[in-house]
Chain A
Amino acid sequence: KQEVTQIPAALSVPEGENLVLNCSFTDSAIYNLQWFRQDPGKGLTSLLLIQSSQREQTSGRLNASLDKSSGRSTLYIAASQPGDSATYLCAGYNTDKLIFGTGTRLQVFP
């Protein structure tokens, strides 16, 4: 069974810290990987998509990397802010489907 695992499940940090969210997948057929943000009671917002030919993508304070050989992706958030508080989901593309991890719930306190 394909699995996408996210560690940690929850994280609480003070404002200003740099942090790393981890995503690992067991299926080598996963080719692209996407990171999403979900606010409570809301839908998913796409943050970054890393294609199989890329190793990383950057958007503002966010940087996501992909290492297919080890089945890992990381989302790096620089200088965290209270507005970054949300659940972060990673999802791997396998053929025509997205396989989701269970998410990391992030709280950034002032």
Chain B
Amino acid sequence: DADVTQTPRNRITKTGKRIMLECSQTKGHDRMYWYRQDPGLGLRLIYYSFDVKDINKGEISDGYSVSRQAQAKFSLSLESAIPNQTALYFCATSVVTQDETDTQYFGPGTRLTVL
């Protein structure tokens, strides 16, 4: 079984709809992240969380919100989807090891299309 799972894997929706993307992990990591990937732009950080009560904005948080329901779950919401939010969304987890290495592990991605 995958350590980092995302649901749904694909979603097509209409402008103005509320959408929630979910991420679950079995790695026991404290840190979780949401990224979006657009052609030619690489991955950009939307939000991240270092603990259940910790939420931080990333580079492109406008139009998005998140919820860290438990250590293992981190959800991304689009309150009112718009077409330029069409992208591939990735969840990632990490933990800082004793040697202070912080390696991120990625989920399989959710392809979101907003019409």
Contact = CB atoms under 8 A, between A and B. Distances in A.
A34 interface: yes
Contacts of A32: 101-102
Interface residues of A, number: 22
Contact of A100 (B44, B105, B111): B44
Which of A4, A42, A96 is packed against the most chain B CB atoms within 10 Å?
A96
B74 interface: no
B58 A100 contact: no
Contacts of A93: 102
Interface of B: 31, 33, 35, 40-45, 48, 50, 58, 90, 99, 101-109, 111
12 contacts: A43-B108, A43-B109, A44-B90, A49-B103, A91-B43, A96-B102, A97-B58, A98-B45, A98-B104, A100-B35, A100-B42, A102-B40
Q: Interface majority SS on A: helix, strand, loop or mixed?
A: strand
Interface of A: 4, 32, 34, 36, 41-46, 49, 51, 89, 91, 93, 96-98, 100-103
B102 A43 contact: no
Which 4 A-B pairs give the minimum distances between C-beta atoms? A44-B106, A100-B42, A100-B43, A43-B108
Contacts of A98: 33, 43, 45, 104
A7 B90 CA distance: 24
A41 B58 CA distance: 24
Contact of A46 (B31, B42, B50, B103): B103
B90 A97 contact: no
Contacts of B33: 98
